Chain A
Amino acid sequence: MTIELDKAADRPEAVQTPPPSKTSRKTTHNTTRKAPGKLAGWLGALPLLVFLSVFLIAPIATNIFTSFRVDGQFSLEPMAKLFEPQYRDAFIQTINLSLLTAAVGGVLGFILAWALATGTKPAWLRNLVLSFSAVASQMGGVALAFAFIATLGVQGLATRIILSLTGWNLSENIQLASFFGLALVYLYFQVPLMAILMLPAFGSLKKQWPEAAYSLGASRFRYLADVALPIMWPPIVGALLLLFANSFSAYATAYALAGGRVNLVPILIGFFISGDVMADESFAAALVTGMIVIVVAAMGLRTLLERRTNKWLR
């Protein structure tokens, strides 16, 4: 605001005569605009707000509303049904899958991030890995599922090569349409996602910090434990939470690989919506609500940690 006023003050001495009136009008407009500014803001944001209320907020609200109603009456029955063994098992399986892929992907991705952040040696190799990580972290979906079937399926490339080399049939031990098979495929995007998320955190660890610590006589371990870790843990945990949510909400990959053979929440929801299972509107809505609650919890925690992180990482 001050810059604007300065500029406007400078300009009138310049050659043009008509513009000054314009700029002066603009500046007066700016200074007197305090009260109507709020209204203008709402008006300007209105298209976006309307759009989001119709296509995002209203569907979510309807869903949550429906999950607490049976035959037009308030009821906790649909939500209670989530705790029936079959559905509770789906939630437990999905949580386990998300925990597993977040943990393994987190460790491997952290190592990859470390190599990317600290290594500059073969620059071309580093840049190649970096750009592929950025892309692979956004992969997923149907194409990835079929690519893995082509790799590790019964007739997959890796399966055939290993079979001809060692006589060991990989596909008998690694079932892609199983819990661990899905976990393996998810890692394809979880590992690079973790690496990409951790890079800024690594980048902001100042070079002077280890120098300062060592010059004060600290050992490497002491530096890691007392300086690096306290600063790094919020972004690490935050990234792990995002990985968890990412895996929890993946549908296309799981469906294309396993169909109904793995009991997962997103796949259950899919079956309910497409009407393969009896049409119980309220319960389908309850499943969705349960899923939203879990993802919101993970992402909410992440936001809190992010705020903590921003204190240090600039």
Chain B
Amino acid sequence: MAALETAPETLREARPKAAPRTKPAGAPKLQDTARIIIFAAALVMFFIPLVASAAFGFTLPGKGFTLEPLTDALAGTDFAAQLFTTLELAVLSTLGSLVLLVPTLLFLHLKAPKMLRLTEWLSVVPYVVPAIALVGGANLFFRNVAPSFLVSTYSLVPFYMVLTLPLVYRSLDAGIRALDVQTLFAASASLGAKPRQTLLHVVLPNMRAALLGSALLSCAMVLGEYALASLLLHSTFPVFMVQVGMNQPRAAAALSFLTILATWLLLASLSSVTARRGTKKSTTKGGSR
């Protein structure tokens, strides 16, 4: 490495043409200021809507900080019920995805790696079908096949599982790939462990980061989902927020601020979960989504 780096250096010394040499020497200062300006601008842009929604939602002219707009808007509504429904849906669809995907993926990695190409391809399909398109198709299909299915709020759960599939599938798959389950199972079997013991005591604890990461992603997505819930006529928190926003913009801003904050916390804790894992591979995987 060192030899490689010094070689061009000597070559450059030999060359009288100074143009390429002065650039690396003079440019960094200018580039560093440019970078700092870009970072600062990005931070300001990210924060302005947050600050504004907090300021707009939690103050009244001439009164300073107050919870009044929020409490006024929420009084007499079944706000708590809707929030609870959304939380319930988030938990159920997250659990559903994990219960469906973890055993399937482990099984396929162990017994039939060739099938993974098909399931991976399928897992990306929801990316191509926007939520608004899925709801159109779901409406048509289930009205003909099982008319009573869409009535229950819980009917949203499988659709949320589908919508979060690309993210959840990939983060679980990456977690399993990083493990080399075949070897783990073989090694632990040779030590006398039953497959179930291996699964519970070796594989799942090692997948903690992947499990946690996919759960956080799934929760964050479900908490903000609006298209499916509103068009299938279920009242969830985002639907409630739009109703409030029709005539109480301050309360809507306050709720938005709290929602954005909660989502940021969820997703920021996700990046710290993946950061602790620390491999460069996992971040590039995450990026290509």
Residues of A within 8 A of B (CB): 1, 3-4, 7-8, 11, 14, 16, 18-19, 22-23, 26, 33, 37-38, 40-42, 44-45, 47-49, 51-52, 54-63, 66, 111-112, 115, 118-119, 121-122, 125-126, 128-129, 131-136, 138-151, 153, 155-158, 188, 191-192, 196-197, 199-200, 203, 208, 211-212, 214-215, 217-220, 245, 248-249, 251-252, 255-256, 266, 269-270, 272-274, 281, 284-285, 287-288, 291-292, 295-296, 299-300, 306
Contacts and interface: CB of A to CB of B under 8 A. Distances in A.
A199 B287 contact: yes
B192 A22 contact: yes
B154 to A, nearest CB: 13
A144 B260 CA distance: 8
B287 A256 contact: no
A292 B128 contact: yes
Given A45-B104, A214-B8, A269-B136, A146 B38 contact: no
Given A214-B8, A220-B20, A134 B271 contact: yes
Interface in B209-227: 220-221, 224-227
A105 to B, nearest CB: 12
Contact of A44 (B55, B108, B288): B108
Contacts, number: 337
Range, interface on chain B = 35 or more
B128 A41 contact: no
A135 B249 contact: no
A27 B182 CA distance: 12
B158 interface: yes
Contact of B192 (A19, A41, A148, A306): A19
B112 interface: yes
A56 B230 CA distance: 19
Interface of B: 4-5, 7-8, 11-12, 15, 17, 19-20, 23, 31-32, 34-36, 38-40, 42-43, 45-46, 48-53, 55-57, 100-101, 104, 107-108, 111-112, 114-115, 118-119, 122, 125-142, 144-145, 158-159, 161-162, 165, 182-183, 186-187, 189-192, 220-221, 224-227, 230-231, 233, 238, 241-242, 245, 249, 252-253, 255-257, 259-260, 263-264, 267-268, 271, 280, 283-284, 286-288
A253 B111 CA distance: 44
B129 A56 contact: yes
Contacts of B136: 59, 63, 269, 272-273, 284-285, 287-288
Contacts of A119: 31-32, 35, 39
A58 B134 CA distance: 10
